[in-house]
Amino acid sequence: MSIKKYDTIRKLDEELVLIIEDFLLLSPLSWSKETMNSFLKNADNKNPNLPEIEYPKVDYTQKINRLTTYIKKLGKDNHPAIEFLRDTAKSYYDAYRILQGVGTKDVTEFSKHLYGSPRDTLPGYGRNNVKVAQYFLRVVEDYRFTLNEEPMIYPDGRFKKLLQKRVEESIDPSTDPINITVDDTISARAAAGSNYVKIRKGESFSKNDLEQLFHHEVMVHTLTYVNGRKQPLLKTLGYNAPRTTATQEGLAVFAEYITLSIELVRLKRIAQRIIAIDMAENGADFIDLFKFFKEHGQNNEESYYSSMRIFRGGKPEGGIVFYKDNVYLRGLIEVGSFFKHAMHRGFIHDIALIFCGKLTTKDVMLLKPLAEEGKIIDPAYMPDWAKNNSGLAAHLAINDLTERFKII
């Protein structure tokens, strides 16, 4: 490949970074803390009022137009890097259409295109997402005697310090500082960025939460940001393209699983959110989902947040669905299959490649030729479990064995 071609790719990559470097999707769609407090005051009434939502008026037309022009500029060039940039730009286009269309059906249309629907069939499984979620809940029920939640012993300030210590033991603070902050605006219990992890203010945390958030938020989400921004050719690998969400969340949940930091209660919630999206598709409103989550063991605040996630960008009365929570189970299955494929075929280096930035599993195959040429460099950081190929292979092999043979 000529030096001129790579210069062109580098310039196109830089152009896309300039368009999307200030991109935020979830924050503009989320509801205020005041909205939650107002709703929860009357949440235990037989007929609670729907929350009242107003979204900021922001015009994203310029971003949408710039992305449209950029995609046209790429044309039909099938070079792996160009294909990667084109698919990435298209996913940002969809995301900006969501932001432009808050409160309208555009949120449903474009988030469904990005994240899929509970009624989509999982490749190779013959079942759709909601069927898999329902099956998974039945499986979890078989282990119901272990469904005890750990005591919440760490207030947010103490938890922040403990997590900061764990981070600095694994990622060099002198070259790649990552700050743990307490934030009262996020809807999730934690949220990761390129150089930070936010934890929700007022939350209490368990010992297991420390392990779970470390492996999920830090050693997958933030780690892939850091690795991606060190890439010499495609800096876009250091930005969280919306189309990578399923793989990135699947990888993060797999990390919890392989490190024994996941809990059945959490797995139940992941499955329940898919069922709740299906309910919203079929006309359920915010209160319907709030009651659904409460009936399945969540407290008022957790039920509020779980319901809000599905109506972000929409209206509490329903009719508009935000589909992001549809990706977690699909992503987990996808990533597990990816690791098995890499092990079975002897593509061990693929495991490192998936940590070199924000990619999908298909991107790993697409960009392998660039890695072989040294244009995609190995990740600066990897989780310990992913570096231990033999241990990971043994785990996957035992998993295959116990799935195939049932003695009891």
pLDDT at site 408:
55
What is the reported pLDDT for 143? 85
Confidence at residue 400, expressed as pLDDT on a 0 to 100 scale: 83
Q: Is 193 helix (H, G, I), strand (E, B) or coil?
A: coil
Handedness of CA 237, 243, 249, 255 (dihedral sign): negative
Number of C-beta neighbours around residue 371 at 10 A: 17
* pLDDT value, residue 185: 84
pLDDT at 106: 97
- pLDDT number for residue 127: 87
List phi, psi (to 5°) of 196: -155, 160
> CA 143, CA 202: separation in Å to the nearest integer?
31
pLDDT at residue 2 in the model: 64
* Residues of the chain with confidence (pLDDT) below 50: none
The string of pLDDT tens digits covering residues 326-335 is 999 999 999 9
Contact at 8 Å (CB) between 154 and 161?
no
How is 203-259 classified by DSSP, letter by letter? Answer: -EE-HHHHHHHIIIIIIIIIHHHHHHTT-SS-GGGGS--GGGHHHHHHHHHHHHHHT
Residue with tokens 């979890």: 140
The CA distance from 335 to 122, in Å, is 13
What pTM does this model have? 0.94
DSSP per-residue string spanning 147-167: -PPPP--EEHHHHHHHHHHHH
CB neighbours of 13 closer than 8 A, spacing ≥ 6? 81, 85, 233, 234, 235, 236
